Structure 1
């Protein structure tokens, strides 16, 4: 496998300019990203979910319980994270946003590490568009969706392929009695295992990014993972309604799901039976991905690479499973903007006292500077986040006082106690707002923005939000 990568590696190194000499004993980074992942995992207290491998990783490292993306949509979230730049009204807005177009002069995390002398490679879904900043990797990114002409929806049952083809969206879920690598994420895990074996022989540290595509729609997973759950026992969201006093702008039509066969096209709730099937499919997809994560981490151990490899595992954003009547990301609510983040240092694997849950706030523009500090690489002036290494070293250390997601016209500030969202028009006029008191309303069911007792809170958060908007 190394031979077929040789010339691609040389071309990649030449394309990013001068390569610095990095200490060959510098730590490796295994960066695992999971699409549309909620903190719906055993380690996060959601015991209905079967996620033993991710739970084990969390127990061996630091699990962040208040980690927020900066924009809850695939392309924009990934481009912001990989450049360390915040989204704004003109940059990183949509699912097809690209770093090399929205911030063409910015360095990416992987491009910068390549320049420092790291071997960098990507497999699966890391950047939303595989061509985004492609020359900054050491070797060309690998995507399972290119195998055998298979479309990105990845149905394997013949009835779905015959009826809907490889591209047209069919049902929002599929359960096939097949091996794990019949679906994309099993292929991605297989490729990652090969790549780790090859990387072991490199005379340089590596940054390996592995992007799993489930539990993104459609919720397709091998039958064995569906069989882990009894659909009759699945509980529906207990707040399937818009928050009281919430502005109309907080509502959206979850069009991503409506495009699939069997989902009502009109703006109404799905039936309870369909809701349970969707949640069942989501759970099965999470367990399927968890198994693939276990395979990759197992290979890391088997190769003896865990002793010098930092592991990151995270989602690119969350996903609503009927909460507020929504079935998507694309919103300022916590279910869309909060996602798992787990970091394991080599030293933590053998030192349980240095592990635990970090409850301090972090946001995803902080990931780039954090990895630079952990790998002892030079700082980069473009970065707008700040390192959270202190929390990795000591989970009880404080986090940020506030984090700042945004989506389309919605600007958000989240603190330890509150979440304020304000919508702004093109001329800068505020159109609507909502405030949730997470101390008493963590599920964000009652908008208190206009209640007199919260006026001082609203003013303070508004001023912080405006200052952030003006700075980015």
Structure 2
């Protein structure tokens, strides 16, 4: 009897030791998740998985089928430099921080631990490829490597290059019979593919980025992508109007576009030119879709996708004639709403969510997914619960541009233009349940004044505790 008990005790100890050994082995050999972050400049959520059916983007469509797609993601400021610095620090723009395209994280928020710096501090190899921050050398200490292709606004044709040299911006479009790799984003794709091949054999986790520059102006793409579209079937947007009820401050002269050759210096664009620009935008999206496809295919071929988070976002929306506007720089939904999707191994498979999400929420989400503590400076809220299939407790976002500050809550888009003291001097309110194109400003209607008062209070509660403070940190 005693011998039998002894044998059982020995077996129990051995089994327990084996389980502990296996547990330790799993902990030691399980690698942290890699992160591949793809950023696309000026990309509207005008894609098939958002309900459109005219832009050909098969690789983005495929990625969406493997991801969680956010139907209501919003940038915190509709201009590239500021939007990127805000997202990569997880902090809100204020009246004095993250203002315009030329924003530098190092100047506006030097004490914030950026997302790439956080990952680098926690053992990740960090590589900045293409346009991640607006300035190549911004937050340079956060990266193990920074790479960009030759010229930011390169043209393929000699005649286009000559026009560019002799004018402010050059032509707004180009369709050339050239290989994809001649243009900047084609070179970028090859660099990222090469990085993946090198990183495959590394035991170090990676934060690898792909900063795509198109469909930013000028709309340059190989001719085969232009040939995907019939311009005679392209229509101007339904919202091609500027209602009198909308404050004039809500509109602008789209100076970014007017710097290009052949664009009138004032007034509406001729209809043929407007459709040519829309055509160029579509072609540029199809071109960058192909480049993103090369990278995603290589990720799969190398069997890295099984342990890699893929997140794709556009830095802000873009107007393609909406409200007779072009470019960004406004607080209409067309400039604020953005494409956002995240693919997490084993957890996403083509789900969609209507949860309102701000770009400052990206940082804490990736921190949580990689198991790294979120720094105290981060103001966003992780959307990991949404990835896990739970409902979001957050149903609002705040965006701003210059004096205009917008609260997005439920179906309501409420904008105030405020002075340095936070006092409103102009208002705009749209109810997307009734007016998705934002053509009927409700802010001056008597029956909405109680709603306006409520929204004004909520806006100030949510625009950030340092919104009016000149101290950048």
What's the TM-score, normalizing by structure 2? 0.91
- Aligned pairs for 1:7-86 (under 5 A) are 25-86=31-92
1:470 CA displacement: 5.4
Task: Determine the C-alpha separation between the residues in 1 that align with 2:138 and 2:117.
Answer: 11
Residue 351 of structure 2: aligned partner? 356
- Aligned pairs for 1:268-287 (under 5 A) are 268-287=267-286
- Aligned pairs for 1:429-444 (under 5 A) are 429-444=423-438
Task: Determine the C-alpha separation between the residues in 2 that align with 1:469 and 1:261.
Answer: 39
Task: Determine the C-alpha separation between the residues in 2 that align with 1:379 and 1:83.
Answer: 11
Task: Determine the C-alpha separation between the residues in 2 that align with 1:290 and 1:49.
Answer: 10
1:94 CA displacement: 0.5
Residue 243 of structure 1: aligned partner? 243
CA deviations on 1:337-383 (whole Å, 9 max, x unpaired) are 1110010111146xx4xx31111100000000000011111121111
- SS of corresponding position for 2:338: coil
Asked which structure has the greater CA Rg, the reply is: 2
Residue 201 of structure 1: aligned partner? 201
Task: Determine the C-alpha separation between the residues in 2 that align with 1:176 and 1:335.
Answer: 29
- Aligned pairs for 1:51-200 (under 5 A) are 51-139=57-145, 141-144=146-149, 147=150, 151-165=151-165, 168-200=168-200
Task: Determine the C-alpha separation between the residues in 2 that align with 1:166 and 1:299.
Answer: 40
Distance 1:377 1:23, change over 3 A: farther
Contact 1:61 1:356 in 2 (8 A): yes
Task: Determine the C-alpha separation between the residues in 1 that align with 2:303 and 2:269.
Answer: 48
1:201 CA displacement: 1.5
CA deviations on 1:277-317 (whole Å, 9 max, x unpaired) are 00000000000011111110000000000000000011000
Residue 294 of structure 2: aligned partner? 295
- Aligned pairs for 1:370-389 (under 5 A) are 370-389=365-384
Residue 327 of structure 1: aligned partner? 326
- SS of corresponding position for 1:330: coil
Residue 422 of structure 1: aligned partner? 416
Residue 14 of structure 2: aligned partner? none
1:167 CA displacement: 7.8
1:164 CA displacement: 2.4
Task: Determine the C-alpha separation between the residues in 1 that align with 2:299 and 2:275.
Answer: 36
- SS of corresponding position for 2:292: helix
Task: Determine the C-alpha separation between the residues in 2 that align with 1:348 and 1:428.
Answer: 43
Residue 343 of structure 1: aligned partner? 342
Residue 13 of structure 2: aligned partner? none
- SS of corresponding position for 2:293: helix
Contact 2:126 2:143 in 1 (8 A): yes
Task: Determine the C-alpha separation between the residues in 2 that align with 1:164 and 1:77.
Answer: 27
Contact 1:32 1:211 in 2 (8 A): yes
Residue 265 of structure 2: aligned partner? 265
Task: Determine the C-alpha separation between the residues in 1 that align with 2:276 and 2:29.
Answer: 51
Task: Determine the C-alpha separation between the residues in 2 that align with 1:68 and 1:245.
Answer: 25
- SS of corresponding position for 2:123: coil
1:124 CA displacement: 0.6
Residue 304 of structure 2: aligned partner? 305
What's the TM-score, normalizing by structure 1? 0.91
Query: Mind listing any 5+ residue stretches in structure 2 that lack a counterpart?
Result: 1-27, 467-473
Contact 1:152 1:166 in 2 (8 A): no
Task: Determine the C-alpha separation between the residues in 2 that align with 1:286 and 1:72.
Answer: 19
| CA RMSD in angstroms, aligned pairs only | 1.6
> Which region of structure 1 is more displaced relative to structure 2, 425-434 or 30-39?
425-434
- SS of corresponding position for 1:404: strand
Contact 1:152 1:167 in 2 (8 A): no
1:468 CA displacement: 2.5
Task: Determine the C-alpha separation between the residues in 2 that align with 1:192 and 1:168.
Answer: 31
Contact 1:24 1:203 in 2 (8 A): no
Task: Determine the C-alpha separation between the residues in 1 that align with 2:281 and 2:355.
Answer: 28
Distance 1:470 1:125, change over 3 A: closer
**Number of equivalences:** 440
Query: Mind listing any 5+ residue stretches in structure 1 that lack a counterpart?
Result: 1-21
Contact 1:200 1:305 in 2 (8 A): yes
Task: Determine the C-alpha separation between the residues in 2 that align with 1:444 and 1:254.
Answer: 19
Residue 10 of structure 1: aligned partner? none
1:170 CA displacement: 1.1
CA deviations on 1:137-173 (whole Å, 9 max, x unpaired) are 122x1001xx3xxx32111111111232298411111
1:177 CA displacement: 0.6
> Which region of structure 1 is more displaced relative to structure 2, 302-311 or 458-467?
458-467
4+ runs deviating over 3 angstroms: none
Distance 1:470 1:121, change over 3 A: closer
- SS of corresponding position for 2:323: helix
